[in-house]
């Protein structure tokens, strides 16, 4: 057991898989000699060499096309897109090519690859380099989508993603890279499609993802201490496949659910979870389902404005306590 940063966990997760399988290769802009814009690939070029850790030009279509063609013909590429928004300049591959290959060819060809995204806000980069875009990919049949919140999950889910026969969108949160957590020694392999209950509770369920997970946990501590509310906190971890059993089981127990989402409100992932809960356990609910989200705005660069936009610990505490205490009176 050792303490590891989220950033170093990315490196460890990738290197664990590259040591295991020589068909696992890494491509992207500045990921090799420079160690990555987020320094999340430092040392990989030195360990695995230029043929397995390949620097590319600024050509996102070529990066994803190369990853797709290699995956279709027997390799296990990991492609880094740097800032998540760069997905928009190669969205043909994410929306039309990679996810539909297996279906359109009646199962003849698949795309076992991983695309890494530097996702999310908190670093004051403005509207085009701070968005949380995991929901852009969640709506596309054929993709799998994960967004880990801790170093140990980064390693285990990276292993699961690389070993998975389907294309996996791997969202790393930029504001979490410097955070640390305990990580066991040895190989770590997780499974896709499993949520985690990080804090058990009786009064309500708070469902969160990525950066919103530590905020939800901190909020739950304050809710217990100051408001007498015992919140259960679920880290969704994987949007596709979605662990609805975990979420539904928790909501049946607590009778209340809040989602905490970094993506702007319309069509955020929480809307889908709310819809499932409303459809399937409506009669177990004690009150409305509540989404706590970023407003439907582009993100501002100013630190004070960005902090206002993204759900904060304070906002989570206020919203949950007001809704629950209101419902009790």
User: Residue numbers of the site for another protein (CB under 8 A)?
Assistant: 23, 25, 51, 54, 56-57, 59, 61-62, 64-75, 77, 92-93, 96-97, 101-110, 112, 141-142, 144, 164-166, 193, 240-245, 276
173 catalytic, yes or no?
A: no
The answer to whether residues 127 and 301 touch, using CB atoms and an 8 Å cutoff, is: yes
Q: For the residues of 40-51, what is the DSSP string, one character each?
A: -STTHHHHH-TT
Q: Which residues pair with 2 in a beta bridge?
A: 183
Residue (67 or 220) nearer to another protein, CB: 67
- Coil, strand or helix at 173: strand
Least Å distance, CB 101 to another protein, is 7
Residue (249 or 300) nearer to another protein, CB: 249
In the block, residue with structure tokens 């013909």: 73
Least Å distance, CB 7 to another protein, is 27
Least Å distance, CB 278 to another protein, is 15
Least Å distance, CB 104 to another protein, is 4
Catalytic residue among 129, 173, 227, 296: 129
Sorted by sequence, the CB contacts under 8 Å of residue 219 that are 6+ apart come out as: 206, 231, 313, 316, 317, 320
Residue (245 or 314) nearer to another protein, CB: 245
Residue (71 or 223) nearer to another protein, CB: 71
User: What is d(CA 86, CA 71) in angstroms, rounded to the nearest whole number?
Assistant: 21
What values do phi and psi take at 292, rounded to 5?
-105, 115
Least Å distance, CB 9 to another protein, is 26
Question: Is the C-alpha dihedral spanning 296, 298, 302, 307 positive or negative?
Answer: positive
Q: Which of 129, 131, 164 is nearest to 146 (CA)?
A: 164
What values do phi and psi take at 191, rounded to 5?
-125, 145
Residue (92 or 286) nearer to another protein, CB: 92
Q: Which residues are catalytic?
A: 129
């Amino acid at each position: 057991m050792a303490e590891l940063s989220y950033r170093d966990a990315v490196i460890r997760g990738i290197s664990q898989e590259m040591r295991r399988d020589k068909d696992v290769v890494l491509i992207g802009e500045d990921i090799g000699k420079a160690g990555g814009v987020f320094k999340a690939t430092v040392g990989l070029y030195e360990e695995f060499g230029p043929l397995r850790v390949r620097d590319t030009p600024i050509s996102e279509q070529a990066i994803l096309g190369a990853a797709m063609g290699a995956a279709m013909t027997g390799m296990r590429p990991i492609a880094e897109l740097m800032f998540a928004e760069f997905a928009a300049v190669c969205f043909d591959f994410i929306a039309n090519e990679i996810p539909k290959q297996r279906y359109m060819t009646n199962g003849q060809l698949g795309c076992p690859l991983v695309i890494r995204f530097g996702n999310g806000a908190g670093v004051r980069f403005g509207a085009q380099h701070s968005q949380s875009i995991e929901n852009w990919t969640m709506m596309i049949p054929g993709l799998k989508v994960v967004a880990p919140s801790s170093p140990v999950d980064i390693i285990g889910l990276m292993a699961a993603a690389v070993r998975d026969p389907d294309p996996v969108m791997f969202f790393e949160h930029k504001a979490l890279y410097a955070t640390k957590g305990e990580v066991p020694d040895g190989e770590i392999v997780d499974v896709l499609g499993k949520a985690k209950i990080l804090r058990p509770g009786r009064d309500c369920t708070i469902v969160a993802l990525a950066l919103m997970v530590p905020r939800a946990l901190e909020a739950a501590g304050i809710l217990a201490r100051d408001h007498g509310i015992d919140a259960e906190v679920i880290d969704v971890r994987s949007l596709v496949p979605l662990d609805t059993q975990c979420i539904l089981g928790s909501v049946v127990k607590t009778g209340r659910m809040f989602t905490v989402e970094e993506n702007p409100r319309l069509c955020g992932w929480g809307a889908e979870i709310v819809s499932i809960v409303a459809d399937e356990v409506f009669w177990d609910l004690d009150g409305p389902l509540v989404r706590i989200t970023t407003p439907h705005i582009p993100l501002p660069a100013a630190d004070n404005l960005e902090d206002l936009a993204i759900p904060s610990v304070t906002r989570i505490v206020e919203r949950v306590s007001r809704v629950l205490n209101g419902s009790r009176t």
